[in-house]
Amino acid sequence: MMATNPLDSVSVIGLGYIGLPTAAVLAQAGKRVIGVDLNESVVGAVNEGRVPFVEEGLETVVAGTVARERLSAQVTVPPADAYIVAVPTPFKDGHTADLTYIESAAGSIAEQLQGGELIVLESTSPPGTTERMAEVILEKRPDLTADPGLPSSVYFSHAPERVLPGRIMIEMVENDRIVGGTTTEASELTRDLYASFCRGELLLTDARTAEMAKLTENAFRDVNIAFANELSLISDQLDIDVWELIDLANHHPRVNILQPGPGVGGHCIAVDPWFIVAAAPETSRLISTARQVNDSKPDAVLQKTLEIAERFKAPRIAALGIAFKANIDDLRQSPSRTIVGNLAEKLSEGTVLVVEPNIDELPSELAERSNVELSELDNALEQADIVLLLVDHAPFKAVDPESLRSKIVLDTKGIWNSRGRA
Ligand code: SAJ
Q: Can you tell me the distance from the alpha carbon of 372 to that of 374, in angstroms, rounded to the nearest whole number?
A: 7
Is the model's pLDDT at 55 over the cut of 70? yes
Q: Is 413 a catalytic residue?
A: no
The full DSSP string for 300-367 is: HHHHHHHHHHTTSSS-EEEEE--SSSTT----TT-HHHHHHHHHHHH-SSSEEEEE-TT-SS--HHHH
**How many alpha carbons lie under 13 Å from residue 319 in its C-beta half-sphere?**
30
Cβ of 268 closer than 6 Å to ligand 1, yes or no, is yes
Q: Which of 31, 198, 268, 413 is catalytic?
A: 268
Q: Can you tell me the distance from the alpha carbon of 169 to that of 422, in angstroms, rounded to the nearest whole number?
A: 35
Axis-axis angle for helices 207-238, 129-140 (nearest 10): 140
Kind plus residue range of the DSSP H or E element containing 74: strand 71-74
Confidence of residue 61 (pLDDT cuts 50, 70, 90): very high
Rg, C-alpha atoms of the chain: 24
pLDDT of residue 290: 98
Q: Is 346 a catalytic residue?
A: no
Name the region of 31 (left: φ>0; alpha: ψ -120 to 50; beta: rest). beta
Q: How far is the CA of 121 from the centre of ligand 1 (A)?
A: 21
Residue 11: Cβ-neighbour burial (10 angstroms; 0-12, 13-18, 19+): buried
Q: pLDDT tens digits, residue range 343-385?
A: 999 999 999 999 999 899 999 999 999 999 999 999 999 999 9
Q: Can you tell me the distance from the alpha carbon of 360 to that of 379, in angstroms, rounded to the nearest whole number?
A: 16
Indicate the pairing of strand 372-374 with strand 71-74: unpaired
Minimal-distance CA residue to ligand 1 atom 3: 259
Residue 18: Cβ-neighbour burial (10 angstroms; 0-12, 13-18, 19+): buried
What does the chain come to in residues?
A: 422
Q: Please, what is the end-to-end C-alpha distance for the chain in angstroms? A: 61
pLDDT of residue 420: 45
CATH number listed for the domain at residues 9-200: 3.40.50.720
Indicate the pairing of strand 91-92 with strand 96-97: antiparallel
Confidence of residue 3 (pLDDT cuts 50, 70, 90): low
Average pLDDT, the chain: 95
Tell whether pTM > 0.75.
yes
Q: pLDDT tens digits, residue range 232-254?
A: 999 999 999 999 999 999 999 99
The residues of the chain that CATH labels 3.40.50.720 are 9-200, 257-411
The mean pLDDT value for 148-168 works out to: 94
Q: Which of 175, 176, 269 to mutate to test the pocket of ligand 1 (most atoms within 8 A of CB)?
A: 269
Q: Can you tell me the distance from the alpha carbon of 375 to that of 355, in angstroms, rounded to the nearest whole number?
A: 5
Is the model's pLDDT at 1 over the cut of 70? no
Cβ of 327 closer than 6 Å to ligand 1, yes or no, is no
Range 257-411 classified under CATH 3.40.50.720: yes
Confidence of residue 421 (pLDDT cuts 50, 70, 90): very low
Q: What residue type is assigned to position 207 of the chain? A: A
